[in-house]
Each structure stands twice: as C-alpha cells, then as structure tokens.
C-alpha cells in the first residue's frame, strides 16, 4: 500500500466520522430550531401585548397571530438555510445565500428582536425613563431655586443704597450738605428715596420664606417621584401617579421662577433717579435756595449712580441661565427600550441572539460539509464505498441476476469443412437461360 492510498484511506475515515456526527445531530436540529422559534414567539407576544391598548379578545388574537407568524417564519427561514447553504459548492451561490441570510436576519430583528427586548427589559426601561425624568426635574428645581436665592441676595444691595441715603439725610439734617441745618427740601428728597428702598427691602425679605417653602415642597415631590421609580408592582400604574406628581412639581418650579425679585429690583432701580418728586425750595434767601438747588443736583447724581449699581446687580441675576423646560411624557415599554438601548445592551443581545443563534448552526454545518467534500476529493469511487455500501451493492446485483434468470451458455461454433480446390478458385459462373437470352 502506497502513502497516497494510506492518506486517502485516512481521509475517508475522517469523512465518515463527520458524516456520522452530522447524521446524529440532524435528529435534534429540527427540535432545537423549533424550541428557539417558539421561545422567540412567546417573547414577541409579550412585546406586542405591551403595545396594544385594548385588552380584549381581539387584541389577544392579534398578538397571538403575530407571534405565531414570527415563530413559523423563523423556523422556515433557518430550515431553508440549514439545508441549502451547506450544499452550495460555488462561491457565487454561497455569497448569494449569505446575502439572503443577512437580509433575513435584518427582517427578523425588525419584526421580532426589538419586541423580545421590550418583553425582557420593558419595565426596567420605563423605570429608567422615570429616573431620567426625576433628574431633569431635580435640575430644573435646583436651578430655579438658585436664581430665586440669588435674587434674594439683592436685598443686601438695596439695604446698602438705603443706608447711604439715610446717612446723607442725617448729614443734611445737621447742615453738612447744603449748609442749612434742618429738614428742608434736600432732606425730604433723601428721605423719600430711602423710604422707597426700605419698602423694596421689606418686599424682598418677605419673599425668602416663600422661596424656601416652595423649594421644600419641590423636594418632597421629588422624593415621592423617586420612590415611585423603585417601587414594586406594575410600572403602568406607577407611571400614572408619577405623571400627577410631575404636574405638581412643574407648578412648584413655575412658582419659584415667579418669586425671583430681580425684575422688581431692576425696575425700582430705574425709578430711583427718574421718578423724583422735587419739593419746593424753602431757603430764606436766594443764596440759600441756590445752595439747596446745587445740593439737590448732587443728590440726583448720587441717586443715578446708585441706581446703575442696583440695575447692574439685578441684570446679573436675570442673566443667569434659566432652567430648561421639563415635562414628563409617558412612554411605552417598546419605545423606552429603543430610546435607552445603550443602557440595556445585555437584554438586546439576548433578544437578538435567540433569533440569530441558528445562523451559527448554519455556518457549522457549512464548514462540516466543506470538510466532507474536501476529504472526498481525488478519491476513487471504489475507495469511498463502505462495507455496508458494498454489501448493498452485492445484494442489488444478486437481485438483478435473479430477475434476469441464469446466464445462457454461448452457442457452439460449428466447424466449417475444408474448402475444395474448385471452391478456392472462386465462384462458378451461373449459366444463362436460353429463353431469357433470346429475349
């Protein structure tokens, strides 16, 4: 036996071993594929049910029909590929079926996998949506509170300007401004503006309690919303309560925005120098009245400077970034899974794997069939036959012989006599008939 014959024999043994494994695996492949298709159909049914608002019989049959169609489609699709793709022997046919497999896999993901993901992680995705909404509302509440507190800080600026006017009025009462001691025209202007600022300061101070009360109420609502996010039970029922709390919290945030006194301070600062009721000059002489007029002009300049300072502080508060508009939007489990897909990668992987796992089996069978064809290449037909195939061939030959009957013996060949001398000379001429000759 040559080395080439030995190698061919070994290859055929390997081929027969692979064929044996494939034969045994073929007995469980259909059942396994059916189980996978059924499991995918069940999760598809759960995903479809979460999308249907109605819970009647029609919705049940609609979801069941869709899931059954998905199961049958998956089973038939992968059954076709398991039979046809491994049998392809040309590169063009293999590429064509691979492209068909990719197209079919995309269709399966579109009609089944995302619904499977909704069934696997739908509730968790909705809870994720609730948690994100709580974060958005918390940011809006804290930003609104920060703006309101910054506006309350303008109370110190108003108090400082009022204190300046009080000092000037005291100096005027002592005669250190206009040179006329007492409570004349200059004194009354200073006291007039000081009183306006005192009223504004009192109004700002009264807002502090309202700001803190609204902030405390908003935090209490946020706490309840966080509890709803992590509570047990159906997420749909919790979403309804969550929506009600979100509406309340939106009202609190709006109240905090309205409690900001920065616009009020900005308007009061603009009126500080513009809206002045000038009293009648009460100096006894023309010189005294001129001194009062000059002092009033100086006071108006001071009021203008202080007004600009207050306006600048108020604008800084008003220029702070306003909280973003936040509104809770109810969302279905399927939409939540798609929106927060990055947070549920394992669920998506499981949902897709249960549908596309047969693709791995198709590739395994294709590789095994390729190994079988490679092992049989350049091996004579007689060397490929197994003992059972040879026995079957012998039995078939005997059956053919039985139908045809026993073989007939060949007829004996008779000995021809030795040719005479005349025969060896050639054929004798045939005499012509005299009658035919005359005619």
Yes or no: domain 124-332 corresponds to CATH 1.10.3470: no
Q: Which of the four pLDDT bands, split at 50, 70 and 90, describes residue 437?
A: very low
Mean pLDDT throughout 287-315?
Answer: 71
Domain limits of the chain? 3-87+344-391, 124-332
Rounded Cα gap, residues 205 and 236, in angstroms: 44
pLDDT (0 to 100) of residue 279: 53
pLDDT (0 to 100) of residue 100: 92
Rounded Cα gap, residues 40 and 353, in angstroms: 10
**Listed range (186-190, 387-391, 428-432) with the worst mean pLDDT:** 428-432
pLDDT (0 to 100) of residue 101: 92
pLDDT (0 to 100) of residue 435: 43
User: What would the pLDDT profile of 365-416 be if each residue is shown by its tens digit?
Assistant: 888 888 877 766 665 555 555 666 667 777 877 777 777 666 556 555 554 5
User: What would the pLDDT profile of 5-56 be if each residue is shown by its tens digit?
Assistant: 666 666 667 777 777 778 888 888 889 999 999 999 998 888 888 777 666 7
Report the alpha-carbon angle 22-25-27, nearest 5. 120
Around 149, how many Cα atoms within 13 Å sit in the side-chain half-sphere? Answer: 10
| Alpha carbon separation from 91 to 21, 95, 98, 103, 359 (Å, rounded) | 26, 6, 10, 18, 18
User: What would the pLDDT profile of 46-100 be if each residue is shown by its tens digit?
Assistant: 888 877 766 678 888 888 999 999 999 999 999 999 888 888 888 888 899 999 9
Instruction: Quote the tokens at residue 146.
Output: 């920060």
DSSP 10-62: HHHHHHHHHHHHHHHHHHHHHHHHHHHHHHHHHHHHHHHHHH-S--SHHHHHH
User: What would the pLDDT profile of 103-143 be if each residue is shown by its tens digit?
Assistant: 999 999 888 888 888 888 888 888 888 989 999 999 889 89
User: What would the pLDDT profile of 317-352 be if each residue is shown by its tens digit?
Assistant: 888 887 777 888 888 887 888 888 888 888 888 888
Rounded Cα gap, residues 173 and 187, in angstroms: 7
Q: Which of the four pLDDT bands, split at 50, 70 and 90, describes residue 201?
A: confident
3 state SS of 420: coil
């Amino acid at each position: 036996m040559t080395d080439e014959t030995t190698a061919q024999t070994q290859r055929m043994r390997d081929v027969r071993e692979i064929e044996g494994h494939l034969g045994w695996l073929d007995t469980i492949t259909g059942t396994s594929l059916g189980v996978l298709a059924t499991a995918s159909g069940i999760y598809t049914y759960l995903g479809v049910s979460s999308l249907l608002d109605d819970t009647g019989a029609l919705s049940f049959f609609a979801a069941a029909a869709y899931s059954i169609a998905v199961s049958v489609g998956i089973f038939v699709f992968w059954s076709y590929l398991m039979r046809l793709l491994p049998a392809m022997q040309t590169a063009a046919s293999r590429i064509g079926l691979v492209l068909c497999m990719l197209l079919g896999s995309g269709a399966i993901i579109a009609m089944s996998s995302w619904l499977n993901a909704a069934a696997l992680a739908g509730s968790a995705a909705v809870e994720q949506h609730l948690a994100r909404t709580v974060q958005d509302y918390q940011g809006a509440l804290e930003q609104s509170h920060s703006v309101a507190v910054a506006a309350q800080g303008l109370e110190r600026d108003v108090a400082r300007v009022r204190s300046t006017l009080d000092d000037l009025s005291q100096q005027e009462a002592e005669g250190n401004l206009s040179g006329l001691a007492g409570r004349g025209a200059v004194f009354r202007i200073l006291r007039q503006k000081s009183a306006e600022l005192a009223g504004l300061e009192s109004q700002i101070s009264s807002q502090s309690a309202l700001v803190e009360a609204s902030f405390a109420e908003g935090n209490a609502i946020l706490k309840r919303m966080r509890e709803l996010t992590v509570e047990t039970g159906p997420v749909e029922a919790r979403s309804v309560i969550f929506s009600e709390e979100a509406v309340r919290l939106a009202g609190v945030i709006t109240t905090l925005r309205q409690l900001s006194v920065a616009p009020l301070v900005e308007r009061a600062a603009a009126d500080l120098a513009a809206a002045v009721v000038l009293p009648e000059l009460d100096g006894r002489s023309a010189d005294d009245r001129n001194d009062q007029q000059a002092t009033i002009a100086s006071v108006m300049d001071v009021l203008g400077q202080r007004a600009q300072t207050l306006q600048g502080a108020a604008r800084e508060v008003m220029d702070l970034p306003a909280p973003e508009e936040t509104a809770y939007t109810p969302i279905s489990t399927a939409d939540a899974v798609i929106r927060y897909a990055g947070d549920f990668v394992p669920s998506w992987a499981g949902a897709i794997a249960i549908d596309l796992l047969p693709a791995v089996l198709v590739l395994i069978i294709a590789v095994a069939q390729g190994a079988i064809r490679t092992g049989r290449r350049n091996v004579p037909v007689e060397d490929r036959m197994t003992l059972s195939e040879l026995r079957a061939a012998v039995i078939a030959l005997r059956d053919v012989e039985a139908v045809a009957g026993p073989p007939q013996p060949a007829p004996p060949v008779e000995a021809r006599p030795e040719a005479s001398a005349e025969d060896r000379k050639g054929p004798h001429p045939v005499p012509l008939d005299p009658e035919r000759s005359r005619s």
